[in-house]
Amino acid sequence: MGGKIKSWKKRWFVFDRLKRNFCYYIDKHETKLKGLIYFQAIEEVYYDHLRSAAKSPNPALTFCVKTHDRLYYMVAPSAEAMRIWMDVIVTGAEGYTQFMS
């Protein structure tokens, strides 16, 4: 779901463990960066069990990524994809803490 205008838009995400972030684009052919989330900014990743995402196109596949300054609502194409994305994001965010000491 968009940050300023609260409408649902499809985005292409790229996870980068070396840079410790994941970024997103309008689609997989786009080269202009649309947004960036640093692992260090992630506070929580969770399933939207309260169905708080307004007008989600698929509430059962909606999950949240909470950062210091924004709550991202995301919808996966399948339950399996949702579990994989949540695991990858959590693992990346937790992995970041290994480099802090």
Q: How far apart are CA 65 and CA 44, in angstroms?
A: 6
| Domain ranges for the chain | 12-98
Q: How far apart are CA 98 and CA 5, in angstroms?
A: 36
Q: Would you say residue 11 has pLDDT above 80?
A: yes
Query: What confidence tier does 91 reach under pLDDT thresholds 50, 70, 90?
Result: confident
What mean pLDDT comes out for the span 42-65? 90
The correct answer on CATH 2.30.29.30 for the domain covering 12-98 is: yes
CB-based contact 76:61 (threshold 8 Å): yes
pLDDT at 79: 95
pLDDT at 95: 61
Q: Which residue has the higher pLDDT, 3 or 97?
A: 3
